[in-house]
């Protein structure tokens, strides 16, 4: 790869303005996801005792994503309207996501029921997963291949800022109990209501200021059937795309095995309140936001594959340290506050490495696509990542139940981190087989697509 030439290509005019505006779509997802992943398992635990069953229910969004994202992404590839091919889907599905997200705590009220909560969760994820493909594909439609690591860093930073707002600003409001008109008691409700309103506002801004790149006439002829794109990925001579997909399946097995239980671990093992438990993913999000853009710039200079493999090794070490964190801090006699702070520091480093992996993996896959099948490749990314997200929570939940029954609650929950180490190491090994997907200087052109 010619990384020197890549580094010499200047950023296009208006690059950051365009990319930040596109990142408003990622902002909506980043706002909802950490609150959902942290508190929905806690809400479910009010009705269900089994960690396995909680993990199973938490895969509902991923099960819907497995089918909806590739289908809707492929449909949007073929859509032609006055406002673009992605925007019609975004304008319908994202506001609906915000509405159902705001309703989640009402389904979890003591007067509610498990069935009502699951119905709300179902419709939330139906809308959110239908939105995700078009939201994500909007960026590679607009940004040239040579700059997609930097662009992905920017929009992932937007998502991370939203996650910080959700976890650091909104999550502590879970403990706030005041009575407001219409809303009633705000305890356990206010963060979801505010997040729903912010999602709606971000959608309005996205539609107002982002004008999609319109396909040229010859692009219609380049639109490729789904089956053809799949044959290229899995049956072509270059297996790089296939190895990237396998690698991301493995690292998402690791990540999704930890994520649904992080709030429970913080509350039950580290003994913090539900409001503070939301700071766990917040520490990850802060690091993600700080390092997403630098990691994209570094990858542009030294290569995406090198950055990803280095960060997979780093995140494996951090997960191993987190596994030993509680017994070590207990043996050292650290106070609960000191133990909590050191845990957040470890999660910060986890977020730094993890964000760098995600920031650079998507651009590697997009580099192998063209305008006609960008949505299909986006769908493949999510098919594999969501397949892992479906598989992993029940597996790590079952592992937790198994060790909890034999060694106690604390050991059971700690096993999620050791589980994650195994799959991160496997992803590191498979990623070594990837040979393509690096930025090329000839793809440095851009077009102004924001108004």
pLDDT, one tens digit per residue, over 168-211 is 888 888 888 888 888 888 888 899 999 999 999 989 998 998 88
The predicted model gives 88-116 an average pLDDT of 91
Q: Residue 2: its pLDDT value, please?
A: 46
This model's pTM is above 0.85: no
DSSP classification of residue 270: S
Pairwise CA distance, residues 413 & 73, whole Å:
36
Query: Which candidate, 89, 87, 86, places its Cα nearest to that of 208?
Result: 87
Confidence of residue 321 (pLDDT cuts 50, 70, 90): very high
Q: Residue 133: its pLDDT value, please?
A: 85
The two tokens of residue 232 are: 């290229």
Query: Which candidate, 90, 114, 106, places its Cα nearest to that of 192?
Result: 106
Give the C-alpha distances (Å, rounded to integers) separating 442 from 5, 9, 144, 339, 446.
9, 9, 9, 50, 11
Q: Residue 447: its pLDDT value, please?
A: 39
Confidence of residue 156 (pLDDT cuts 50, 70, 90): confident
Task: For helices 374-407 and 336-366, give the axis angle rounded to 10 degrees.
Answer: 150
Pairwise CA distance, residues 130 & 71, whole Å:
9
Q: Residue 52: its pLDDT value, please?
A: 80
The gap between the terminal CA atoms of the chain, to the nearest Å, is 35
The predicted model gives 111-118 an average pLDDT of 87
Q: Answer whether residue 370 shows pLDDT above 80.
A: no
Residues 397, 56: contact at Cβ < 8 Å? yes
More confident residue, 244 or 447: 244
Query: Which candidate, 149, 7, 213, 146, places its Cα nearest to that of 444?
Result: 146
Query: Which candidate, 347, 363, 338, 360, places its Cα nearest to that of 420?
Result: 347
Q: Residue 58: its pLDDT value, please?
A: 82
Q: Residue 137: its pLDDT value, please?
A: 83
Q: Is 9 left (phi over 0), alpha (psi -120 to 50) or beta?
A: beta
The predicted model gives 221-226 an average pLDDT of 52
Q: Residue 1: its pLDDT value, please?
A: 44
Domain boundaries, the chain: 3-213+225-439
Q: Answer whether residue 249 shows pLDDT above 50.
A: yes
Pairwise CA distance, residues 400 & 420, whole Å:
12
Give the C-alpha distances (Å, rounded to integers) separating 330 from 212, 269, 326, 347.
55, 11, 6, 18
CATH superfamily, region 3-213+225-439: MFS general substrate transporter like domains (1.20.1250.20)
More confident residue, 293 or 144: 293
- Residue 198 has, within 13 A of its CA and on its CB side, a CA count of 22
DSSP classification of residue 282: H
- Can you say how many angstroms the Cα of residue 448 is from the centroid of all Cα atoms in its chain? 27
Q: Answer whether residue 7 shows pLDDT above 90.
A: no
Q: Answer whether residue 409 shows pLDDT above 50.
A: yes
- Can you say how many angstroms the Cα of residue 303 is from the centroid of all Cα atoms in its chain? 22
Q: Which helix (H) or strand (E) holds 183?
A: none
Pairwise CA distance, residues 427 & 236, whole Å:
22
The predicted model gives 119-144 an average pLDDT of 88
How many other C-beta atoms lie within 10 A of the C-beta of residue 220?
11
Q: Answer whether residue 271 shows pLDDT above 50.
A: yes
Q: Answer whether residue 344 shows pLDDT above 90.
A: yes
Q: Residue 238: its pLDDT value, please?
A: 65
DSSP classification of residue 272: -
Q: Which of 176-185, 213-222, 336-345 has the lowest mean pLDDT?
A: 213-222
Pairwise CA distance, residues 412 & 405, whole Å:
8
């Amino acid at each position: 790869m010619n990384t020197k030439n890549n580094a010499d290509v200047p950023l296009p005019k208006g690059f950051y303005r365009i990319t930040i505006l596109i990142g408003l779509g990622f902002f909506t997802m980043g706002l909802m996801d950490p609150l959902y992943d942290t508190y929905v398992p806690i809400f479910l635990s009010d009705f269900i005792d089994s960690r396995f069953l909680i993990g199973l229910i938490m895969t509902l969004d991923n099960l819907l994503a497995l089918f909806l994202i590739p289908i809707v992404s492929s449909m949007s590839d073929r859509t032609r309207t006055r406002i673009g091919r992605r925007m019609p889907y975004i304008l319908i599905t994202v506001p609906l996501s915000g509405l159902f997200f705001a309703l989640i705590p009402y389904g979890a009220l003591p007067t509610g029921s498990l069935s009502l909560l699951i119905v709300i969760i179902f419709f939330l994820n139906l809308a959110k997963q239908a939105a995700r493909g078009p939201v994500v594909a909007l960026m590679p439609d607009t940004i040239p291949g040579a700059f997609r690591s930097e662009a992905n860093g920017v929009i992932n930073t937007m998502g991370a800022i939203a996650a910080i707002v959700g976890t650091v600003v909104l999550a502590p409001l879970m403990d706030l109990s005041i009575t407001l008109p219409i809303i009633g008691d705000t305890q356990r409700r206010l963060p979801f209501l505010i997040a729903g309103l912010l999602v709606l506002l971000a959608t309005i801004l996205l539609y107002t200021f982002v004008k999609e790149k319109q396909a040229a006439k010859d692009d219609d002829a380049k639109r490729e059937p789904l089956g053809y794109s799949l044959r290229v990925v899995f049956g072509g001579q270059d297996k790089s795309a296939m190895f990237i997909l396998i690698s991301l399946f493995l690292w998402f097995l690791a990540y999704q095995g930890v994520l649904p239980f992080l709030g429970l671990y913080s509350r039950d093992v580290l003994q913090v309140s539900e409001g503070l438990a939301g700071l766990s993913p917040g520490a990850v999000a802060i690091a993600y936001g700080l390092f997403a853009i630098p990691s994209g710039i570094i990858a542009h200079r030294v290569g995406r594959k090198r950055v990803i493999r280095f960060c997979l090794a780093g995140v494996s070490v951090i997960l191993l340290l987190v596994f030993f964190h509680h017994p070590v801090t207990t043996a050292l006699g650290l106070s609960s506050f000191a133990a909590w702070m050191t845990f957040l520091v470890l999660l910060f480093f986890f977020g730094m490495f993890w964000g760098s992996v995600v920031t650079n993996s998507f651009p590697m896959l997009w580099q192998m696509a063209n305008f006609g099948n960008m949505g299909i490749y986006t769908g493949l990314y999510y098919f594999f990542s969501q397949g892992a997200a479906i598989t992993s929570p029940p597996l790590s939940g079952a592992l937790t139940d198994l060790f909890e029954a034999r060694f106690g609650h604390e050991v059971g929950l700690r096993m999620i981190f050791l589980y994650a180490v195994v799959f991160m190491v496997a992803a590191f090994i498979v990623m070594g087989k990837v040979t393509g997907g690096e930025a090329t200087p000839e793809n440095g052109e851009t077009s102004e697509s924001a108004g």
